Structure 1
């Protein structure tokens, strides 16, 4: 600017930065760019914001009266992700592991940080070997985000490769009286082992009890065997420390239940050592099944899965006897090759006994039997009961007939059925009363003398023998017929 601060004097010397230069400079400095513009310029800056990483566009009032609110709101939306690394340490001598505990992320990645949040980075150092004598016994290294070494922490490490030990203590109490304590470690006597010499090889308390499979891995490779029992390792999950389960030889944890770690037991139960304890309304290995069974019953009434299967996860699993005979359908209501429909387990006769209940005068069905007849397995497959004429029956093709008997055993009524397909049938019958054999009426007829002495007891009686003369007959034989 000139001395008065009114005119830009470097217009011919310097050029405006390109969009790429703006984006690179902002990203390298971790600057979040906010374009605060008025309404008529917003579309232009929206397009620009797409080209500049970590930038956004907001509307500002003509008089800039909302500038403070915009700054506060945009600052609160800024989130940061750091992939933490350790550098500068002798990898041949030591191993460094970083574990992030943050709102999001896993391993060494700390994500989801917003203004006011904090994360914790745990540094674990494992000594691989003592440095050679010609190398220093001290070192330093730094931890920092992978792409920004300016934000860092320095850690100093001293290698303690030797220590001054106390005098050896024979039969030390810290070694259960079965070993010598030297430099804080028990040297156990023959036959004993363990950190405190508390385990006896002769008592079968050995590593064999801690091996789960043919691979020979002790405690599933996730722990150590102490006196025949697994002491399992710990691990970080969901922001807290957990350990594998000793009762499963460290093979499972409270995060081992399916289907995924983010959906343990389908959120319908509690996971303990790989096993789900389901809430009262759920069942199944991963609590994925409801305990309800209403969908396993035929509509209206009937047995569960029509008595032809079992109910699992509120769904029928139908019985199957062989490749030629099985049940199917939502409630196992359909049958493949169920056999004779006039007799047997899948007879259609109970269906007609239900249909004709008190419908025909001579066809008697007991009230106590009606419900049983109406629940017959085969009745679910009948699509229609149709009243027809004798002429219709005569013309009906592919029909089969049966006779249903009432509960008295003396009256029967014929019906016909047509197999539409392997899962449906139509039933036809004629609208007329049943044909009955009434032994009581015959007995009464005999008792009243209608058969033995009809002429004496029945005023309407007429002699059935007729006499007539045959004019063509020339003999002398009797003319009685």
Structure 2
């Protein structure tokens, strides 16, 4: 995008430049909005529907066209269901489009109070609204809050009276005046109560010896009260002398193990409101002072106590009567009761217990932790600081939220907000009489059969907003009084633009009569792939399937009634895990969930590889796990089993990239440059697989390959020098060839000579053997005659 700097005649260059910059900024903003989905087009699911009600339930942006003659003959009524823009483009008039909208009605909205007077102050507005929502279509409204000056405060001091707190008790007996003085700086309507706890008076927590039960302290300790679990000492009062007198009567006690029964005491102080004296309109605080940890649910088994805590009040004569019969409450139980009764705990603990109680505070909304000095002398200042932090932190949340309803919160007019959340909205550092607000977005995910309610409340404050919620899933169509409308061939009435045929008539426009002669060919139109007629879920009427209604009240749908929205995959016995909507047998997950049953939160944490990529670019992250491409191994698709050796598969590219030779020489950049990043080196520097291969010219190439992110993405280091064989000598080759030919000829002659010799030798041996075996007859040849002439040499003397 290029921004012009043409100057108008009536603008200075600076003004013109500013305008151009504004224009560029505006265009850039639009681009970012479109990329973030803010400008995305609304869509409607294209699943087949049978009626306007089916269309409305298909999605928040689905609308129905009730215009007569909108569909063509034989065309499915599903074409009437689409987005408003699409229906208009198809020719449907705006006044003929049916699309239920969200409705918000404010029932009660009293103005916020400026200060506390005789009447109960109003700190949240509005107080009651009614919402009628289209499923999937969110509705946002604003809730205002003002922290009232002088709001009453009820402070219940709950103290650990185990032996290690002896010095602390002595100081607390003298704290009454300072506590009331601190409250008076906050409000003129402050009250203080007092309670004490140790632990269950059973083994192994307390020595059950009769004498030790009466005096569990050290023998030298003169003033020691009997073992007890929790005792309510003083109900809420504004009388300093009453506090001083009742607390002054308290003495230390003791037990065996280090953890105490803190949770037992806090539970009873929360649920026994009438005995503690909590006022209806007040900020309720419990200050828990201790130097030890706490027992929680399950620890009671050590004493054979198996009955779980029932979260009820069991106070008799100001003592917790079920201490030895009922297990400790869980942290979750205690947190729920504190929130239900608008009580905010302040944990005043010693330095060694700070970490333990900070962990506990993280699980209990609207709670604070402060560190006591060794003798609790700083407890007043600790309470003052904790109260200021609690009262300046405004947390809005909800309870009794109906199923398939989502709520999210976004702080407004807040100088120190926390990130928006689906469970709560938080604004910090809110001053007295400062008005802030929250945008609350409510979404109904499915149609609701009946009206339901839930409360939006501020933690630690009694005021609430009641939201009455229902869904708008019905089509308000134009009524046609003509029972025999001409569009329906005089055999039916119009309902939302479609025909409802009378008895004996069927078809989109009631054009067929039941029992037509060509019924068989008509019924074939209702069979998908020559299967069962309308999948056995509907009746074939005039070549169109009229789907049945299920026992639940919803209908099958689709051209062949092949779809329903009640038989999708389940997880933990919930269809689509409660995190999606069933559409034609498949789950369509809500934002933030995925999986075939929407059973997984969208999370890429376990799919992140060391190079900050998902599954090393060789797979997809689903349900928090990698689904690797063929051959690559879990968990992060790093290695591949059964994959071809890259030394061989990348050899041709290495040859063309490094030495400009080989089969890919002509199109090397197109084939290889995108998959291999290479550099020529004398020595290797990177880690990777070392390869040594022969190229097309018979040379040895040495190189290293390192697979990068993705399946076909490598980094290569190629040694600059190839090891190629020396070229052959022509003279040597010719001389060698001639010598070779001669040598071969001589060898062949010698072999031939040897073969002839061996054959002759064999024949001679055969002749000789036959000769030796021969027997000759001694007879004269009658044809032979001896010589008859004798010739003598006269010169021969005979010597």
TM over 0.5: no
More strand by share: 1
How high is the TM-score relative to the length of structure 1? 0.29
How high is the TM-score relative to the length of structure 2? 0.19
More helix by share: 2
